Amino acid sequence: MTVNTADGAFAPKADSIPWQQAVSGYRKSDMRRSLWQMLNSIAPFFILWYLAYRSLEISYALTLVFAIVAGLFAVRIFIIFHDCGHGSFFESRRANDIVGVLTGIITFTPYYAWRHAHAIHHATSGDLDRRGTGDVWTLTYEEYLELPRWQKIFYRIYRNPFIIFGIGPVIDFVVLQRLPVRDERAKARERNSVTWTNLILLGILIGMSATIGFWQYLAVQIPIIAVASSLGVYLFYVQHQYENVYWERHEQWDYATAALYGSSYFQMPKVLQWFTGNIGFHHIHHLSPKIPNYKLENCHNDNPMFQVIEPLTVRTSLKSLHVRLWDEDRHKMIGYHRDEEAVLE
């Protein structure tokens, strides 16, 4: 079996490569590095939050500057939250869960519910027959053709960059993450995590409203959420939505191949790479989620087998905004047109 790579060429099935050996030396967390990452991520976030609040007395433009930078630190905190969900940030499961719950409150995300959905995403990424949990809504070309007109329009609205990267992320983190878990596979702990997170966030809202004012709290918190959620969703999108990504029906689906060729290597400027916790090395992360974020780059640099993956850059990632549907015949993502023929009639 062969798979379509980022440059349109074909590569051997990934299970023929000794990837287990390549990642084995990077799976152990480093307590000092984890604690240092918490310090250099969480402390600046709260300092910037306070500065954004105090700057309301001076200029809201200045407030937005502080909020934007705080939003970048919120993305970095989410990566800590993300690693805790994979059990990779600390050796101790209890430590991962405690820090995961706390960082989940900062990022408005119920830890156990998110961990459950994200585990399903990792187990099913690239599998056409198991779409729908923790991923971007993706239809095949044939599925889209069979939709009634109103559903085609709805899909197009969902896929519109202004919605999926602008309004949508804020709605997701502020509203949708507050809703009860509907997955029947979820246990009581996953369901209760939504309730407890909501109650804590409500307590914070009441407490902050009583101390600094309701509108003042929103004036700072909403821009931070907007920046962090929009950037986070964009990263997640380009990690799994690009022209030559890997998708297969369940019978042909392969975990390692899906990880290496169904998850992008997003090569970012060093500053953005730091704020996003090396999540651009997403192909390695999907191959071995137990690798803590601060070891992903070393794993990539030390193993030539990972360096053959064609990287996305910030510029080339913009091309992903034009892919909408999976073409099973061509094994590639396409827009709404095939052979210059409009799909929406």
The 10s digit of each residue's pLDDT in 77-123 is: 999 999 999 999 999 999 999 999 999 999 999 999 999 999 999 99
DSSP 265-313: BB---HHHHHHTTTTTBHHHHHH-TTS-GGGHHHHHHH-HHHHTSPPB-
Lowest mean pLDDT among 2-16, 66-80, 239-253: 2-16
Q: Quick one: which of 91, 176, 110 has its CA closest to 100?
A: 110
Is a pLDDT exceeding 70 seen at residue 10? no
Mean pLDDT of the chain: 90
Is a pLDDT exceeding 70 seen at residue 344? no
Q: How confident is the model at residue 67 (pLDDT cuts 50, 70, 90)?
A: very high
Is a pLDDT exceeding 70 seen at residue 215? yes
Q: Quick one: which of 43, 41, 55 has its CA closest to 212?
A: 55
Distance CA 299, CA 233 (A): 25
Amino acid letter, 91: E
Enter the tokens of residue 177. Answer: 């993450």
Q: What is the pLDDT of residue 219?
A: 97
Q: Quick one: which of 140, 132, 136 has its CA closest to 158?
A: 136
Q: How confident is the model at residue 11 (pLDDT cuts 50, 70, 90)?
A: very low
Distance CA 228, CA 46 (A): 14
Is a pLDDT exceeding 50 seen at residue 6? no
Q: What is the pTM of this model?
A: 0.90
Amino acid letter, 62: L
Residue indicated by tokens 């169904």: 262
Amino acid letter, 330: R
Give alpha helix (H) positions in 161-254.
161-162, 168-174, 188-211, 214-240
Is a pLDDT exceeding 60 seen at residue 3? no
Enter the tokens of residue 3. Answer: 């798979």
Strand duo 139-140 + 325-327: pairing: parallel
Q: Which helix (H) or strand (E) holds 82?
A: helix 60-86
Percent of the chain with pLDDT over 90: 81
The residue-averaged pLDDT of 177-203 equals 91
Distance CA 125, CA 263 (A): 9
Percent of the chain with pLDDT over 70: 93
Q: How confident is the model at residue 16 (pLDDT cuts 50, 70, 90)?
A: very low
Total Cβ atoms within 10 A of residue 26: 21
Distance CA 118, CA 247 (A): 18
Q: Quick one: which of 110, 108, 116, 37 has its CA closest to 79?
A: 37
The residue-averaged pLDDT of 263-281 equals 95
Is a pLDDT exceeding 50 seen at residue 41? yes
Count the alpha carbons within 13 Å of 74 in the hemisphere toward its beta carbon: 28
Is a pLDDT exceeding 80 seen at residue 333? yes
Domain limits for position 282:
2-342
Is a pLDDT exceeding 50 seen at residue 1? no
Q: How many domains does the chain have?
A: 1
Q: How confident is the model at residue 186 (pLDDT cuts 50, 70, 90)?
A: confident
Q: What is the pLDDT of residue 339?
A: 61
